Amino acid sequence: MEMKKRITEELGGRKPAEVVELLLDSCLSADGELDGLSDDFSALEVLSLCNTGLKSLSKMPSLPKLKRVSNSADVLPTC
């Protein structure tokens, strides 16, 4: 499933600012980048991106309350 579509489904009618936990596991990234996640997820504390095919977090928005990010099964290059 496409990442943007999965985020829409995970919202379930809530506003992005109301989401505290977002599980995007096994949701494939078409270009290896985050797609559909924005600064609007200001209350997000937990983000799971396991097995998504991410190659970069360069498009990661500012998420001031984020405490935990999981990305097992994906290899991100080091700087």
User: Is the pLDDT higher at 20 or at 58?
Assistant: 20
Confidence label for 28 from pLDDT (cuts 50, 70 and 90):
confident
Task: Name the CATH superfamily housing domain 1-74.
Answer: Ribonuclease Inhibitor (3.80.10.10)
Confidence label for 79 from pLDDT (cuts 50, 70 and 90):
very low
Domain ranges of the chain: 1-74
Residue in this structure with the two tokens 């998420």, named with its chain if needed: 63
| DSSP structural state of residue 32 | S
| Whole-structure pTM value | 0.87
CA 52/CA 30 separation, integer angstroms: 9
Residue in this structure with the two tokens 């309350």, named with its chain if needed: 65
pLDDT at 9 over 90: yes
